[in-house]
Amino acid sequence: MKTELVSDERMNRTSAAKKVAGGILLVNKRTGLTSHDVVDRARRILREKKIGHTGTLDPRAEGLLVLCVGGATRFASFLANQDKTYRAVIRLGRTTATDDSEGEVLSSYEGDLAPLVGEKRLEQALDSFAGLSLQVPPSYSAKKIGGVPAYVLARRGEKPRLKPVAVRIGSIRLLRFELPELELEVDCSAGTYLRSLARDLGEKLGCGGYLCSLVRTRVGDFTLDSAATLEELRTAGIGEIERKYLRPIESGLAGMPAVELTVSGVEKVYFGRLAEMGRDCSLLPEPPASAGVLEVRMQDGRGRFLGIGRLERIGTSMGVLQPKRLMVEAFPFDS
């Protein structure tokens, strides 16, 4: 009797004939790849066209990229504004056109950096960036001016006039200080440019600075140590990806208040009708008494995620829930 040896590649092709279920996939992006490259390769590995990311990483940056797969892509916009954590290496003493090591050097500090940048003065400068501030994005960025990305204008030799953007830096910690380089860990709001931080820090210190390297280690509640590389995904079968790497969409919405729907409430939101608090739904857990509008994640009595709604409260027990985005696959009805 002849035994046939089946190669890993053939096994992966066979298992990949089944499309992966929807959810959130955490990927550890390597340098050199664009965020779109990662999405494109994930689509081929998972045999799923509906994949998108929740926040881009520059090609030279590495680290955590959060992907939404299948039906979870409907909720990508709700994950895009989560806080992030980065490890950044900054080089002092030079400025560049792109605010990173890729661009043309514009200026160099000719003096000795040591007398100018002591650790105490550096700590004071770093502390000044904590909290809310206005930040000007890099000239070489995807920010649009009159519908044209700033980097397109910059490559034409024009100087983009970018408006300052409100950002928030929750904390900024000095991990390493070895002139001319320093390494930081930064917790910040979505939309914060670490290239701009490097540029502005160098300007504040009077010597110039640019970003050497960047690693994103956290997005919301997701961390880099839970992410898979593309190589790991490529060698895993679909079943292993679902068991080991794919997370439910609601795991990215843990900070959002939850509403539990009754059987009548489930039917109402599925057909786009308003659900009443008390009769059709209730908040979990019940927050302090207050009126107002809440964005909430909806679930049924078994805790199954159904989508996101808009809850308009009147006091503690009255209000109406309007469905905004549904996880249609989770409902027990024919679409």
Q: Percentage of residues in the chain with pLDDT exceeding 90?
A: 71
Catalytic residues: 58
Buried residues in 163-181 as b, exposed as e (16+ CB within 10 A):
eebebbbeebeeeeeebbe
Task: Identify the architecture of domain 8-79+222-251 in CATH.
Answer: 2-Layer Sandwich (3.30)
CA dist 326 and 298 (Å) reads: 9
Same fold, 8-79+222-251 and 84-216: yes
Side by side, the strands of the sheet bearing 305-314 are: 275-276, 318-326, 305-314, 292-299, 258-261, 281-284
The predicted model gives 270-290 an average pLDDT of: 82
Q: Percentage of residues in the chain with pLDDT exceeding 70?
A: 90
- Looking at residue 4, its pLDDT comes to 36
Query: For the whole model, what pTM was predicted?
Result: 0.86
CA dist 174 and 121 (Å) reads: 12
Mean pLDDT in the chain?
Answer: 89
* pLDDT for 189 beyond 70: yes
Return the bridge partners of 6, or none.
Answer: none
* pLDDT for 193 beyond 80: yes
Q: Read off the pLDDT band of 313 (50, 70, 90).
A: confident
CA dist 72 and 26 (Å) reads: 13
Q: Name residue, tokens 């490259």.
A: 37
Domain 84-216, CATH homologous superfamily name and number: Pseudouridine synthase (3.30.2350.10)
What DSSP assignment string belongs to 181-203? EEEEEEEE-TT--HHHHHHHHHH
Q: Read off the pLDDT band of 18 (50, 70, 90).
A: low
CA dist 300 and 322 (Å) reads: 15
* pLDDT for 132 beyond 60: yes
Q: Read off the pLDDT band of 288 (50, 70, 90).
A: low
* pLDDT for 146 beyond 70: yes
Domain ranges of the chain: 8-79+222-251, 84-216, 256-330
* pLDDT for 13 beyond 70: no
* pLDDT for 333 beyond 80: no
- Looking at residue 12, its pLDDT comes to 44
Domain 256-330 CATH class label: mainly beta
